[in-house]
Structure 1
């Protein structure tokens, strides 16, 4: 009976309607993807083995193994005391300027991003230290949370980046090339956000910490944070020098985190190690389920030639790559408000990447734009993963923090437009190091 009724419905329409409906009623995205796929598989009369086969094939990827290891490494370095020392070093450098606590938060996020590869993890590690400090300095809970959550978006820009790894796997793009290409946009994002936070603090009358650190203080903070600062040098330096692959680098990061947390700083005991492993398992379990079920969903899209149809529609609108890239950027920002970043990348990469490459856009450049627009999705309800992490630390409402983050979102949109119009900001470094 159900099969007869489903047979009269266009299967592409059924796939998307079922997916959107399930998300609207609160079903987690991964399960919404799987249920919509299973419904269409049943309606199509496809073999039941389609789901387990495609789900397994989507997760059976050597580069994908880097994600759980980088996540685990980030938590090891958070519980091992590395993040606190990075914050102290950042404060010794720029804490005295107006809005110094906010600037320190952004700079510390840049440091920690080169270890964690995750936006919410960066917010949790740095925000746990800096959000209370900003509240004591007069920022207010909402603005403090907004600054930390925006700084956390750099976590997916500065390599290693988990979304870049997923994009590289799905789009068959060099992950090392993506990592190199993310350095300049990531640093540019951090510098731009520091400038915006300084301006907002100037308008709000928020002072700096009032304490200018001398060379001796900066040196002591640097020595204390040396082993933490050395982590990205070893991990990223090894990748760029060709000593190991990004996947092997993730294992090196875990080994280094264990070494620094136990032998150097001696803060990583059995209890903290267990908590780091527990958090990493929860995060990576979610990612694995999503990647697998989204892979099955994407296989159906390919079977029904949805990417070709959407590509033809976009190309009919304009043959100018700038117009197309700006339109896609706007689409990705909207999609990011209700869809998790990794799901967005997995679903839309097979659809959009062939379109932009036909127009001459470099796949690495498109990957950077995809990641930058995903940053904004971390800051926009109803999803807003970074906002919810910061909201819990700051003990404020989602409404208040959403209003406070609007000027910072506008700054990220301006930066996105600049990166679209100036591809060399992303591409000159990979080309230089080729």
Structure 2
């Protein structure tokens, strides 16, 4: 059946059908030709989304939406500006640090791109030009799925099964995430010197820094409470996501007092749309995965890969190469749902650590969100900055190169990823 699906898809693509229509036509024709009993698919799809761990996705999305409307951006940016606003290209450094702060709240690159773009695009554009400003925003927003809490890691852990812990994956992203922040700031410094950019803030002063830190302390405590509770075993990831929503509501209504009832309704509406899309993708992808499984496609793929190499490192490099191509053409959530059930069990057969492989998988697809032609973060930032994908692509490549460099370092030095999870007992 797998060969039938792929064969019809290939013929349809050759005849000039658009990729999406070719894929749909190939899949339907292949299933019908195989004589597969379609009655089993609805129950499979329902069971795929009827899972307690998946409830963490809408709760974390809602928490991020609420925090965006609660006025936290102004506080995070002000705190970052007191730290690095005085250095060359300081506003670019502020953007990276603001992206890091937002990533501990939302866990989603698209949400961070929208928040950073709406707030910082115009100031950055005034000082540094439109292309560089948009590239810095896109790169900073991409920290969202790497630094916990990460929606991408939750999806990966669910699709991978019991061998991967959400808390363990969260911790696996901490050290590489902080390294990436440092590397991005170093890249901003290099590019600032090349472009002759000027400082945009006053010199560092402890009184101003401490004043902004006190004002932002309650916001910065959110990831400590939520992630610390999940890792410490006080509650599960799903319960922690609900705690995050309550925390966001308290901050928005009682601390910053910028969250309104209208904003709450808009946050819920946005969360419903996002959750519906992710849920539908999981349901339909589970049906395809089930059909591939009964056709023994995972076993065939494992045999094929082992015929190429039995070296785990070479397997990791092959997967990275595949995900590099996939990330350029496939939306990341679809890639997790389709590929994790296929590649994760094979990685275990190679003796790879599930947390290490899982983090590399997530980081690889996160980078794909910055690569054209289907880089979703690029499209969001382009819409805000009103520039073309080609223009932002000329400025984004140094940041993409930095992220791929970190990917290779983490691949060859697993301790960077596994040290913190091992310290916590994962």
Q: TM-score, normalised by structure 1?
A: 0.92
Alignment of 1:265-414 (within 5 A): 265-414=256-405
**Following TM superposition, by how much is the alpha carbon of 1:12 offset from its aligned partner in structure 2, in angstroms?**
4.2
Gaps of 5+ in 2: none
Q: Residue in 2 aligned with 1:4?
A: none
**Following TM superposition, by how much is the alpha carbon of 1:421 offset from its aligned partner in structure 2, in angstroms?**
0.3
**Following TM superposition, by how much is the alpha carbon of 1:88 offset from its aligned partner in structure 2, in angstroms?**
1.4
Deviations 1:6-36 (Å, cap 9, x if unpaired)?
A: x9x94242475489789972649xxx87765
**Following TM superposition, by how much is the alpha carbon of 1:126 offset from its aligned partner in structure 2, in angstroms?**
2.0
CA–CA separation in structure 2 for the residues paired with 1:23 and 1:282: 32
SS of corresponding position for 1:158? coil
Q: Does 1:153 align with 2:142?
A: yes
**Following TM superposition, by how much is the alpha carbon of 1:58 offset from its aligned partner in structure 2, in angstroms?**
1.4
**Residue 369 to residue 15, structure 1, CA distance change in 2 (3 Å):** farther
Q: Residue in 2 aligned with 1:163?
A: 152
CA–CA separation in structure 1 for the residues paired with 2:123 and 2:9: 45
CA–CA separation in structure 2 for the residues paired with 1:427 and 1:315: 25
SS of corresponding position for 1:177? helix
Alignment of 1:130-209 (within 5 A): 130-137=120-127, 139-172=128-161, 173-209=164-200
Equivalent of 1:13 in 6, 12, 23? 6
CA–CA separation in structure 1 for the residues paired with 2:11 and 2:246: 44
Contact 2:6 2:26 in 1 (8 A): no
SS of corresponding position for 2:409? helix
Q: Does 1:115 align with 2:115?
A: no
- The more displaced of 309-318 and 63-72 is 309-318
Q: Residue in 2 aligned with 1:128?
A: 118
Q: Does 1:93 align with 2:86?
A: no
CA–CA separation in structure 1 for the residues paired with 2:10 and 2:47: 25
Gaps of 5+ in 1: 1-6
CA–CA separation in structure 1 for the residues paired with 2:12 and 2:100: 36
Contact 1:80 1:267 in 2 (8 A): yes
Equivalent of 2:62 in 72, 75, 78? 72
Could you list the structure 1 runs, at least 4 aligned residues long, displaced by more than 3 angstroms after superposition: 14-24, 32-41
**Residue 24 to residue 264, structure 1, CA distance change in 2 (3 Å):** farther
CA–CA separation in structure 1 for the residues paired with 2:222 and 2:83: 20
SS of corresponding position for 1:116? coil
Deviations 1:268-305 (Å, cap 9, x if unpaired)?
A: 11221122222222221111111111111111111222
What number of residue pairs does the alignment pair up? 423
Contact 1:336 1:376 in 2 (8 A): yes
**Following TM superposition, by how much is the alpha carbon of 1:44 offset from its aligned partner in structure 2, in angstroms?**
2.3
- The more displaced of 210-219 and 241-250 is 210-219
CA–CA separation in structure 2 for the residues paired with 1:226 and 1:33: 50
CA–CA separation in structure 1 for the residues paired with 2:234 and 2:15: 45
Equivalent of 1:61 in 51, 69, 72? 51
Contact 1:33 1:293 in 2 (8 A): no
* Cα-Cα RMSD: 2.1
Deviations 1:82-110 (Å, cap 9, x if unpaired)?
A: 12211211111112111111111111111
Deviations 1:304-348 (Å, cap 9, x if unpaired)?
A: 222222222222222221122112112111101111111111111
